[in-house]
Chain A
């Protein structure tokens, strides 16, 4: 995974609450079992007017400067719904590296961490302030994962919280499976105990 320490770029406001993964990438757009090719499918129902992919000029990511956005400012419960990781791949492949929202769908949030896309939770008032600034004039933000802070909003420095383990993984770009195998002895010891304690789990016929 690519290491993630600092994200810099234009922030796009998309302040609807409860934006679900069916909107981020509808099922009918998932036509390949590969991990690539999802960027142009991001938000397809909102981004395009018809099947020929005529752009909807009103949709934020079709407007300048937002079509080059690196950061998305979103409403509450962003990424709720289906577990499809294609939602994260679509955002990432479009160019988004950080999403700021009051809260996230739980599976979506984990999928972000696993794909070097930073989910930042901030209080609703701060998210509103960022969105208002991004609407008013091009807003260039710097998200610093080491310091856990966002700068770029006039006279404000926004602090956010992040689990230390998740943060370390993102910063180092570590592979989670390799990290887990460092505990191979503990896994084997657990399994040896568990085969005694719950043998029925280990013999599903």
Chain B
């Protein structure tokens, strides 16, 4: 019998370009092109490295960001909004300085959320391998990088050796066919995917997101899509680079220029999947049929279309899942069978590495222009980077938000997670553009509904979970 030759996937192509050596079994020693650090997990990593008497192999390939614990209130102070947060900030400053690693500190125009800043500055490039001790590193797949989150100890390994050991990943292709309808975004696409196949639907795979709907997405929306690959249980996700990607990167501060640019582009254009590529798994979803999505429960898979009722645990496939649904409903204080749209909210949050880029802010502003947030709703918008904030202000979006009653904040992770101090001021039910609706994620007892920026804006105005398709834009 002859072997059938199979085409190769974009993941194989990036992987192969980074193989240092095969270690036997399923394991490979991979070269790592970029290591990103932030002040929340970076200090322990650098402390471990120093304690072992080790030094960074290539400090010029390591970048540090201040994002997780920084004060994002409009009056930003040096004091972090987390108990003992200054320990993290100070320790990160000292340890990065000692290790010769550059940091975009508070006050730097490049400061912001690591997963927003690193593509924006051209630090992360298509076809590169990128790690960061942060689970949403997969966001960077949106630009065609093979990027994944690691722990602190693996981070030490990466910084010390510029390599990591990885098992050969199973490769999955997820196709989104058709075109998104008006009012439906990349966030809805990925929430629908997780709802359909479950929070472990990605099975630890490396995923290529493909199909007509993905090709039509701008880079920022691809970053949103890949951001939630980890919430889908994937190892990582990416979108193969194309003209959209290449145009987006051109001219960014750390991107290659001159003759190197042409060589880089030639390489990036080779990073595609063959039509007969050998996928371990393939999934597909009709993007054209999707409505805006909102989570009802306490994980991102507990999601329904905005026009659907809260599901009934009686329909769960087994007892364990039924119990999990019942717990989620109790925590979220929702009744099965009731419509989710119309549920009163007390706060609205636009921000995080999922949805805080300029197009996200534009989408929300288009809904908010000439409107006011409903009485009693605490509304907060946090641009993902200082550069996004400046760009938004240059086109007057800050005024649209503040005139609508939103608080216009400085860049950082902010209320994406509760770090102990900054909170929604007693609000219990929050509609949020973030990526995790886990119990207590945004504060003790806080009930989080994940949605797109447009849905959050429409809901803030209505004072209840709302269908943005019924809120005309101005």
Residues of A within 8 A of B (CB): 15-18, 20, 22-23, 26-28, 30-35, 45, 75-77, 80-85, 88, 103, 105-107, 110-111, 114-115, 163-165, 176-177, 180-181, 183, 186-187, 190-191, 194, 197-205
For the complex formed, measure the closest distance between the CB of A63 and the CB atoms of chain B, giving whole angstroms: 19
| A180-B161, A186-B21, A187-B20 known; A32+B84 contact, CB < 8 A | yes
> Is A28 within 8 A of B83, CB to CB?
yes
Chain A hits for B321, CB < 8 A:
17
> Is A165 within 8 A of B418, CB to CB?
no
| A27-B419, A31-B84, A33-B47 known; A45+B439 contact, CB < 8 A | yes
Which one of B41, B200, B234 contacts A76 once the chains associate, using CB atoms below 8 Å? B200
Extra inter-chain contacts (16) besides given A77-B199, A180-B29, A204-B60, CB under 8 Å: A16-B323, A20-B299, A20-B436, A22-B436, A26-B440, A27-B420, A32-B84, A83-B151, A85-B41, A164-B24, A165-B23, A177-B54, A183-B29, A190-B20, A200-B263, A201-B125
Chain A hits for B123, CB < 8 A:
204
| A177-B160, A180-B161 known; A83+B41 contact, CB < 8 A | yes
> Is A103 within 8 A of B25, CB to CB?
no
| Interface presence of B254 (CB below 8 A) | yes
For the complex formed, measure the closest distance between the CB of A205 and the CB atoms of chain B, giving whole angstroms: 5
> Is A80 within 8 A of B233, CB to CB?
yes
> Is A18 within 8 A of B299, CB to CB?
yes
Chain A hits for B235, CB < 8 A:
106
Chain B hits for A31, CB < 8 A:
83-84, 87, 420
> Is A80 within 8 A of B199, CB to CB?
yes
A15 to B123 alpha-carbon distance, docked (Å): 42
| Interface presence of B44 (CB below 8 A) | yes
| Interface presence of B91 (CB below 8 A) | yes
Chain A hits for B128, CB < 8 A:
201
Chain B hits for A35, CB < 8 A:
44, 48, 152
| Interface presence of B141 (CB below 8 A) | no
> Is A22 within 8 A of B438, CB to CB?
yes
Chain A hits for B280, CB < 8 A:
none
> Is B165 within 8 A of A176, CB to CB?
yes
Residues of B within 8 A of A (CB): 17, 19-21, 23-27, 29, 31, 33-34, 40-41, 43-44, 47-48, 52, 54, 60-61, 82-84, 87-88, 91, 123, 125, 128, 133-135, 137, 148-154, 156-157, 160-163, 165, 167, 199-200, 204, 230, 233-235, 253-254, 256, 260-261, 263-264, 267, 299, 320-321, 323-324, 327, 417-420, 436, 438-441, 444
A38 to B186 alpha-carbon distance, docked (Å): 37
| A111-B154, A204-B60 known; A163+B27 contact, CB < 8 A | yes
A80 to B83 alpha-carbon distance, docked (Å): 25
> Is B44 within 8 A of A183, CB to CB?
no
Residue of B nearest to A75 (CB): B320
Chain A hits for B420, CB < 8 A:
27-28, 31
> Is B27 within 8 A of A115, CB to CB?
no
> Is A85 within 8 A of B151, CB to CB?
yes
Chain B hits for A28, CB < 8 A:
82-83, 418-420
> Is B135 within 8 A of A81, CB to CB?
yes
A186 to B151 alpha-carbon distance, docked (Å): 25
Could you give 20 example pairs across A and B, Cβ below 8 Å?
A18-B199, A22-B417, A23-B439, A23-B440, A27-B419, A28-B82, A28-B420, A31-B83, A34-B44, A83-B41, A85-B44, A106-B235, A111-B154, A177-B52, A177-B54, A177-B157, A180-B157, A187-B162, A201-B125, A204-B123
For the complex formed, measure the closest distance between the CB of B259 and the CB atoms of chain A, giving whole angstroms: 10
Residue of B nearest to A176 (CB): B157
Pairs A-B, 9 closest by C-beta atoms: A200-B256, A33-B43, A85-B151, A111-B151, A28-B420, A114-B153, A83-B135, A83-B149, A186-B21
A45 to B439 alpha-carbon distance, docked (Å): 9
A107 to B234 alpha-carbon distance, docked (Å): 10
Which one of B25, B230, B320 contacts A165 once the chains associate, using CB atoms below 8 Å? B25
Chain A hits for B320, CB < 8 A:
15-17, 75
> Is B87 within 8 A of A103, CB to CB?
no
A17 to B198 alpha-carbon distance, docked (Å): 12
For the complex formed, measure the closest distance between the CB of B333 and the CB atoms of chain A, giving whole angstroms: 17
Chain A hits for B156, CB < 8 A:
177
> Is B48 within 8 A of A27, CB to CB?
no
Residue of A nearest to B205 (CB): A106
> Is A194 within 8 A of B31, CB to CB?
yes
| A76-B200, A110-B151, A114-B154 known; A187+B163 contact, CB < 8 A | yes
> Is B134 within 8 A of A83, CB to CB?
yes
Chain A hits for B163, CB < 8 A:
180, 187
| A17-B324, A82-B135, A180-B29 known; A198+B150 contact, CB < 8 A | no
> Is A81 within 8 A of B91, CB to CB?
no
Which one of A23, A34, A77, A194 contacts B438 once the chains associate, using CB atoms below 8 Å? A23
Chain B hits for A114, CB < 8 A:
151, 153-154
Chain A hits for B151, CB < 8 A:
83-85, 88, 107, 110-111, 114
> Is B254 within 8 A of A204, CB to CB?
yes
For the complex formed, measure the closest distance between the CB of A39 and the CB atoms of chain B, giving whole angstroms: 16
> Is A165 within 8 A of B436, CB to CB?
no
Chain B hits for A88, CB < 8 A:
151
> Is A27 within 8 A of B25, CB to CB?
no
A180 to B83 alpha-carbon distance, docked (Å): 38
A42 to B250 alpha-carbon distance, docked (Å): 46
For the complex formed, measure the closest distance between the CB of A42 and the CB atoms of chain B, giving whole angstroms: 15
Chain A hits for B91, CB < 8 A:
33
